[in-house]
Amino acid sequence: MKNRSPQFSLNLLPLRFFLVLFFHRLKIHPRLNRLLLKRIMEFDASETQQQRYVRYLSSKKSVDDRALNKYVWVSLSEALPKNSPASRLKVLELGAGIGTMLERLVDWKLLTFAEYTAVDSDANSVGEFRGRMARWAAARGFDFSVRPKNTALIRTQEVEILIKFLQADVYDLLSRENTGRQWDLGIAHAFMDLVDIGVVVPQFCNFIRPAGLLYLTLNYDGETIFLPELHPTLDKLILQLYNQSMDDRITDHRITGGSQTGRKLFGSLMTVDASVLAAGGSDWIVFPASQRYPEDESSFLHYILDTIHTELKGHPALDQTAFESWIQTRHDQVESAELIFIAKNLDLLVRVSD
């Protein structure tokens, strides 16, 4: 397999080299020196991890663009109140990552005048969102200005959006009392499977104004397919165990939406008397066109395979030699533009009760 992303480890090399030299010259105790060197290596590894994650979220954007259900999107655009300078939409996005949904909402002309609060618990993603937004705005000839209190303004004649970048855990944010039902639109994109929807859905509804909207998209719903088939039994077992790992996942002592989040959301929404206005499939489908993947989608595929690898490495139900070979072959298929990947997701547009 080729080296998939050399820039990730290379761009920290000068810093690492400098630190190693620096500590070496200090002539400190060898044990302390070894400890410091270990920390430097770990620092490098964790940076690499963060950068790889940012690249994954960025490479996911074109996959999501195709996947998002256009009927649900049109239903959202019809149900949203008009946004104008006199009437700015208040939008709250949970698990906003590096901000690709906001870019899309503006590029696809759904948002014009708005206050957009983007929440994510990951400091690195929030920082990347800020930097990326500045570059994205500049590329479109928008004014971009940094404002106080972690906000920024993007502006043209037709668009004026005040963005608030909020690094917070969604559970903490949503359990804060009495913020009032002030938001016109709540968004969660590729997020609900990571949280306990029995807790987050009712609390999210409490933040949305009476008869306001929730746009819950890319909710994984139980099926992943890799083509061409390699080994029918092993293919099936790996994907079944991967789904199971999502169902068993506990994050910060909490259960998560799991592998059937899409369908489970219907049940959670019924408990809070919210009505689903539109729903539809938003399957990820990645395939090589003319022997290459579009945009940066080969990185996306490698990242998905690495995630499955990390999750199932050492699993007692898997023959590890066969599993390692399966993962390697799938990576090779990405390199030779042969792999086709499909994952089932659902999008929902919801009207919150009065």
Ligand X SMILES: C[S@@+](CC[C@H](N)C(=O)[O-])C[C@H]1O[C@@H](n2cnc3c(N)ncnc32)[C@H](O)[C@@H]1O
Q: Which residues contribute to the site for ligand X (CB under 6 A)? A: 57, 60, 95-97, 100-101, 119-122, 125, 169-171, 189-191, 194-195
Cβ nearer to ligand X, comparing 262 with 323: 262
Residue whose C-beta lies closest to ligand X: 97
Shortest distance, CB of residue 204 to ligand X, whole angstroms? 12
Shortest distance, CB of residue 205 to ligand X, whole angstroms? 17
Please, which residues bridge with residue 165 across strands? 118
Tell me, what DSSP letter sits at residue 166? E
| Residue 51 near residue 8, CB atoms below 8 Å | yes
The H or E element spanning position 348 is strand 340-351
Cβ nearer to ligand X, comparing 170 with 205: 170
Shortest distance, CB of residue 245 to ligand X, whole angstroms? 15
Cβ nearer to ligand X, comparing 206 with 325: 206
Cβ nearer to ligand X, comparing 256 with 333: 256
Shortest distance, CB of residue 208 to ligand X, whole angstroms? 17
Rg, C-alpha atoms of the chain: 22
3-state secondary structure of 66: helix
Shortest distance, CB of residue 99 to ligand X, whole angstroms? 8
Distance CA 34, CA 19 (A): 12
Cβ nearer to ligand X, comparing 169 with 311: 169
> What does the DSSP assignment read for 24-46?
HHHT--HHHHHHHHHHHHHHHHH
CA distances from 303 to 40, 55, 122, 270 (A): 25, 9, 18, 35
Cβ nearer to ligand X, comparing 310 with 321: 310
Tell me, what DSSP letter sits at residue 87? B
Distance CA 297, CA 279 (A): 26
Residue type, 211: A
Shortest distance, CB of residue 283 to ligand X, whole angstroms? 15
